[in-house]
Structure 1
């Protein structure tokens, strides 16, 4: 596994090369403008000074490797999405290690190791626009993973088409991304329109007279998820007490919105956006003296730091999750549902993740990001080629199950086979509570911090 991290805060965008499209091809040297990696048996940590920054390289290549497959991406290690981004990166690193430890990527009978080439985009789409041409033209990445979030994925998608590179989305789920005609954007996770179905379905089945306050961010992902939730509630016949949005960037005070929802007579609170705002919303409920009976928020709830930061206030908060290690997808299940199995089991992935990340357990952001690399490798092997067109065709035709769940896309690249679960913090533990066939516990109602 090759690991590179360049902090974008130390690297300006003014030194970017002009776009020149290289043909994707296997390499044995992994040449870039900063570093040369020699394939073979090598474990090295190199610290190389470059102009105004430092690049850190960790390379571990199987002895049998013929060459490398370089996978490039930016990820949010700082800025608004740093919690989600860091966990995504550790998932990708775990997947790369598993792949390289299990013979690498096989193409035409030859094994290639996976080489990761990534930069911190600081949660800024402007950085994404500058970084992806560099990743492709200077670092010679043959395939791409998307950044975290729909906004940043949207910034990378046109570049993937411009330079003819596959772009696997693991953290951008806004359905609108797949309405723009991008050729090379392929979704691994469930689309945003499905995120909040779980809590609403539970409310309908168990407390159908509850009035719901919707409060969600105005970014591309949250708007799609929030509007879909409002529509789903209407289809279910649930009563809407209020519908409010807030600016995704910079909003830290939610007292006005929470007071308005309370004044409207809302029983339940549904919405959110990302980690920082989700945590702030829950932390401010007590200051407006409101205890909704159900609190269900996007993204934030699944992170361990949500509970550690809030303490008792996190108790009984629910949220949608793309994956939890307790949900056990297996080769046997894949066979019964007509999927081809690929990669490690959930238990094996979790064990490996913990072994190389200081005992920390993977979150759903770790799982979905890792799955994007496993799906890419499966597509390369299915196509038996490193050619973009051939691999894109393989992705369009694949019906694969990994530890993360099902993968199958429609003609636009939108995910159709993956399903989500509902989780809830219960006495300091994150439990899967829906659907019933995989639940570790039942939903606790009402919300009692």
Structure 2
């Protein structure tokens, strides 16, 4: 049988039939999870670096924030380029870059702050390229065997990212707390997982072929960014994805640190993991609420959970009780998981095959603006108490809920999800 290529760049079997890659989506998901692991493993080590390298809180937070500085251009460049040249052609280099990031962080434990800054910046670049191309790759590979137009891609992407976000900080935090070489051993599991993910990714079928020759600027242009649903529903929703998650993992634990004694490091690791696990466990609810003809159901459910989580967080801030923080983290993590699925579903209904990763990248870049929430809340604490500030944030989430549910409409014009074949099946 001979290879053929559709106009949109996806692979076809002889006779022009589209098809899929079976369980290949699991291999692509492993790659996304490995990069997510590398992205979040640094979070529970912030207190460790403050002590080991005698750094101020501002300096450590700057190192943490450099991740976003690399992430956003990684998303905005990696997504459109993968639409043009292929998913695997972006994912495999992204995995190598993720390996490099952990190696730089290992060096930072002895060589100093500059290596930590470089490691976090490089980790952001790897994550941006991997998450944009990986989300599209999983979606395309998930089309295999889907019945009745089912779209499993957004939930699988969310689970893959959340699994990495959960595993990285938990393992790194435990190793940093109790294992020897606390600035080295926490990174070794990521190096091993990424090596495995590289092996799997290189054996996973490509779902797109290189497009026609074009200049870089043309390749980076993304059709669909001005669509009404994208600008009035997807973009307003997006910051609440990681806004809710970052408040849970970066802001709330600091409010109760005085009650944690010598277990602050492990508490931070556990809280980060619980947030991601809640994002996974909420997926059955997201699946039940998802209806392309009634998008208000999932949008309303997602943002209602975020509002509830912020109100519980306000109670936690007022009481400074670690147990209440854990409850707030679980609810906010569920809100993150629902919002992520909702945003990806809407993007994938709007996108065509030739702009899927690019449009996903713009959505994801907007979603990562939510990581600014903990820093803004901390900056405003001289004006109001944390509890009051969180109530104000809950009110903003409620306004977003009202706006997006009013603007969301049925997706009669949604493009059907094509089934795809990987190139191993084309011989």
Greater RCO, CA 8 A, separation 6+: 2
Q: State the TM-score, normalizing by the size of structure 1.
A: 0.24
User: Which structure has greater helix proportion?
Assistant: 2
Q: State the TM-score, normalizing by the size of structure 2.
A: 0.25
